[in-house]
Amino acid sequence: MVAMNCRLAIACIFAAIIALTPPALAQLREDYYDIDCPTLMDIMRSAMDIVAENDPVNLPALLRLWSHDAMVSGADGSVLLSSKPGAKTPGDKAERDAPPNLTLFGFEAVEFLKSAVELECPKKVSCADILAISAQLAVELTGGPVYQTLLGRKDGRTSHYNDGVAQLPVENMNMTQLVNSFAAMGLTQRDLVVLSGAHTIGFAHCSSFMYRLYNYNATMAADPTLDWTLADQLRRVCPRVKADPNRVQALDITTIENFDHGFYFNLQLGEGILESDQLLYEDPSTKSLVNIFADDKDAFFQAFVESMIKLGNNRVLTGDQGEIREVCDKVND
């Protein structure tokens, strides 16, 4: 009964968001490909099963890849574009080469998904929509809420390094900076707390949190908001000397491969790996929402669907505003 109530609530939220969608986004809809590619979701599910079997880490990687795409100038597939050959200056590089994106992976998985779709529906489905569906299915396949993203996005023709630097939130921002970053995307502080819950299946490289472990400030060796036992464990994962730059740490230390609400429970215990995550519990303006989600998985799932749809509808390209790329890492000739 609880699961049924959750599904009904998610359906109601989804319908309400559709009803409130601005006219500029009216071309986004669930059935956008019903004529041009009626088997799209079947193709994507089969291909995602292969992607997950090949490497389960592809699932959180695709969710993160999509979120970084949507947060920079909208969900237009721009993060998938490669820099120009020989590009050396920021002005010539694409956003995937911006510092916040250097630890992204899953690009090969996207190309595999695109190839699978192209075999059945050539030149019909955008890379932006393939990436959005992959994020949706990544959540579903790891035990998260089941929902259908709106479709009909077109792929952008440009990608800028400086946009990635300027628009992506980073782990050492304070609350004001984080809220302002999300506000620039048309999102609220509530969305910040909700979407951070995607870290329930996420990973972080040592470079994202090592500063919390060593010489944190003039008086503290480690971040005092980080549980000291966890800090000791993290030092073994990420030693100060000769740390492996490719080493990663799960952001949810209790249920690593399951999309659930354990991430918020961890924050209550001082076990947020990223400083920006732990801040959600430490800051009075967001602590109560963390507590709600820690206690109520259904509440988190319902809120997550709402925020994911909002982010996915943000500043999208439709109609003749973009293109449908033949391959995802370069614009069409």
Which residues, at least 6 apart from 274, have a Cβ–Cβ distance to it below 8 Å? Answer: 171, 199, 204, 208, 209, 251
Q: Are 251 and 277 in contact (CB under 8 A)?
A: yes
Q: Are 51 and 112 in contact (CB under 8 A)?
A: yes
Q: What is the DSSP letter of 255?
A: S
- Buried b / exposed e over 260-285, threshold 16 CB at 10 Å, is bbbbbbbbeebbbbbbbbbbbbbbee
Burial class (CB in 10 A: 0-12, 13-18, 19+), 70: buried
**60, two tokens:** 């959180």
> Could you give the 3-state DSSP secondary structure of residue 249?
strand
- Buried b / exposed e over 45-57, threshold 16 CB at 10 Å, is eebbeebbeeeeb
Closest CA to 114 of 124, 123, 104, 127: 127
Q: Is 68 a catalytic residue?
A: yes
In this structure, the number of other CB atoms found within 10 A of the CB of residue 327 comes to 13
DSSP letters along 141-203, please? HTT-------B---B-S---HHHHHHHS--TT--HHHHHHHHHTTT--HHHHHHHHGGGGG-E
Q: Are 27 and 100 in contact (CB under 8 A)?
A: no
Q: Catalytic amino acids?
A: 68
